[in-house]
Amino acid sequence: MRVAIQRMAAESVYITPEHEALRQQVARFLAREVEPVAEAWEEQGYVPREVLRKMGAAGFLGVTAPPEYGGAGADALTNVVFAEALSQSTFGGFVVTVLVHTDMAGPHLVHAGSKAQLDRYLRRCIAGELVTAIAVTEPDAGSDVAAMRTRARRDGGHWVLDGTKMFITNGVHGDLYFVAARTEPEAASSSRRSRGISMFIVEKGTPGFRVGRALKKQGWLSSDTAELVFEDCRVPAENLLGEENGGFYAIMRNFQNERVVLGAMAVGHATQAIRLALEHVTTRKAFGGTLFDKQAIRQRLAMLEAKTLATRQLLYHCGWLMSQGRDCVREVSMLKAFAGELVNEVTYTCQQFHGGMGYMRETAIERLVRDARILSIGGGATEVMLDEVAKRFGP
């Protein structure tokens, strides 16, 4: 299948020739290594490790990571361009497998890792030799991070973890898990619930740590998602990641990065859905002409394209704000809320224009509809994002 680099090629003041070159490089990789074969990954439920190693060799797994460990040291805007380009793939499970590794889990190591931890793990993560996962969500603690119950107690030279994590991407086939746990249990019932949470590095195979079960999902079929169980799981004291009791703030810090790349994913998928719909309606004959000849259809597609282009400009603006080190919680929350809802509107409408064929599993548009659904839920549900925006109303 041909991969569109970017159908809506409107200029942006934020995008440089270097960004365009990166976008072209990613598109070539998708066309060669992903789109022709990824249907098999949907069936098996995970992305093969050799694909991630190829991405590492191409420099895609360390866009913002420090150069001394093999990363490119690029800024947040460049990373947004990469995430959007990657999301031109019609296989959302592949895309999220990569973005969890690079942007949702990996930054915890980059931002908080000691020199010993960076030396031990980071270069191998950037090379795709180690796959990472972030374990924060629990059965009773999703967007409400402070409600987590997993605990960690100090026992001599170890921390002992007990609890369960849920909906963990890369949970089955990951190698390195960044796990949030309460290290000050008494804070859980106080008015300061965000206190007393710490982050830990847990390697696969650590005694007391196991995959409870692989989870079956509506979409993202080529990403593995798991329940993780910790029962008297002993990790060395030096595996504390960052400051003790500082985990909640580390999670909040990375939420902005997580949400902006999910916004990029939504924009990329919306772009592809419109491309697929245009290819279909300009060739499908009905009632004496093409479907594109129907005013209602072409005008609805035009409006979806306008909304997607506007969202892309907000996406780039958020990337620029992050690159400048500015507070952009409001803008990123707007992006995540709007893009997550928009990609569902776009894919649903484009599937409608495909008619019965759009309902068949063999079509890319059907897959995009399934994969889009989570983008208004994961990484901060639309309602949570809108509350973040509303909190910042004022003079």
Q: What's the pLDDT at 46?
A: 96
Residue 3 lies in a domain: no
Residues 69, 207, 251, 332: is their CA dihedral positive or negative? positive
* pLDDT per residue as tens digits for the range 291-322: 999 999 999 999 999 999 999 999 999 999 99
On whether both 114 and 210 belong to a single domain, the answer is no
Find all residues with CB under 8 Å of 370, minimum gap 6, and list them. Answer: 218, 219, 220, 221
The answer to whether residue 5 sits within a structural domain is: no
At residue 4, the pLDDT reads 40
- Model pLDDT, residue 192: 63
pLDDT digits (tens, 9 = 90+) for 204-228: 999 999 999 999 999 999 999 999 9
Long-range contacts of 192-197 (CB under 8 A, 24+ apart): 193/146, 193/147, 194/145, 194/146, 194/248, 194/249, 195/245, 195/248, 196/245, 197/145, 197/146, 197/148, 197/245, 197/247, 197/248, 197/251
Residues 119 and 145 in one domain: no
pLDDT of 395 = 61
Q: What is the pLDDT averaged over residues 74-89?
A: 97
6 in a structural domain:
no
Q: What CATH number does residue 307 fall under?
A: 1.20.140.10
**156/281 same-domain check:** no
Q: Which of 76, 111, 131 is the last residue of a domain?
A: 131
Binning pLDDT at 50, 70 and 90, where does residue 193 land?
low
Asked if the model's pLDDT at residue 178 lies above 90, the reply is yes
Predicted local distance difference test score (pLDDT) of residue 362: 85
In the prediction, which pLDDT does 7 show? 46
Q: What is the pLDDT of residues 324-360, one digit of tens each?
A: 999 999 999 999 999 999 999 999 999 999 999 999 9
Examine the pLDDT at 191 and tell me if it is beyond 60.
Answer: no
User: How far apart, in whole angstroms, are the C-alpha atoms of residue 382 and residue 79?
Assistant: 23
Length of the chain: 395
We report the CATH number of the domain holding residue 71 as 1.10.540.10
Is residue 395 one of the residues assigned to a domain? Answer: no
CB of 198 closer than 8 Å to CB of 247: yes
339 — phi, psi (to 5°)?
-65, -40
Percentage of the residues of the chain whose pLDDT score is greater than 90: 88
**What pLDDT score was predicted for residue 184?**
86
For residue 286, the SS3 value is strand
Across the range 10-24, mean pLDDT stands at: 90
Residue 353 belongs to what domain range? Answer: 249-390
Which of 61-65, 130-134, 193-197 has the least mean pLDDT? 193-197
Domain boundary among 100, 131, 162: 131
Catalytic residues, by residue number, are 258
SS3 166: strand
User: What is the band of 188 on the pLDDT scale with cuts at 50, 70, 90?
Assistant: low
pTM: 0.93
Q: Would you say residue 33 lies in a domain?
A: yes
Per-residue pLDDT for 278 more than 80?
Answer: yes
- Are residues 126 and 137 located together in one domain of the fold? no
Shared-domain flag, residues 283 and 373: yes
Number of structural domains the chain divides into: 3
Same domain, 219 and 289: no
Burial class for 283, CB neighbours closer than 10 Å (0-12, 13-18, 19+)? exposed
Same domain, 178 and 214: yes
Q: Please tell me whether residues 145 and 77 are part of one structural domain.
A: no
The pLDDT value recorded for residue 8 is 44
Kindly state whether residue 261 falls inside one of the protein's structural domains.
yes
Mean pLDDT lowest among 172-176, 237-241, 288-292:
288-292
Tell me, yes or no, whether 171 and 212 share the same domain.
yes
The pLDDT score that the predictor gives to residue 144 is 78
Of 245, 274, 300, the last residue of a domain is 245
pLDDT at 189 over 80: no
Residues 107 and 137 in one domain: no
**Residue 66 included in any domain:** yes
Of the candidate ranges 151-160, 181-190, 303-312, 327-336, the one whose mean pLDDT is the lowest: 181-190
Q: Helices (H) and strands (E) in the chain — how many of each?
A: 13, 10
Q: Quick check: 79 pLDDT over 70?
A: yes
CA distance 337 to 356: 30
Burial class (CB in 10 A: 0-12, 13-18, 19+), 391: exposed
Locus of tokens 């704000």: 321
* Any domain includes 7: no
Same domain, 28 and 118: yes
What integer is the mean pLDDT of 82-105? 97
Mean pLDDT computed over 257-266: 97
At 1, the pLDDT band (50, 70, 90 cuts) reads very low
Return the CATH number at 226. Answer: 2.40.110.10
Q: Are residues 78 and 119 in the same domain?
A: yes
Average pLDDT estimate for 254-265:
95
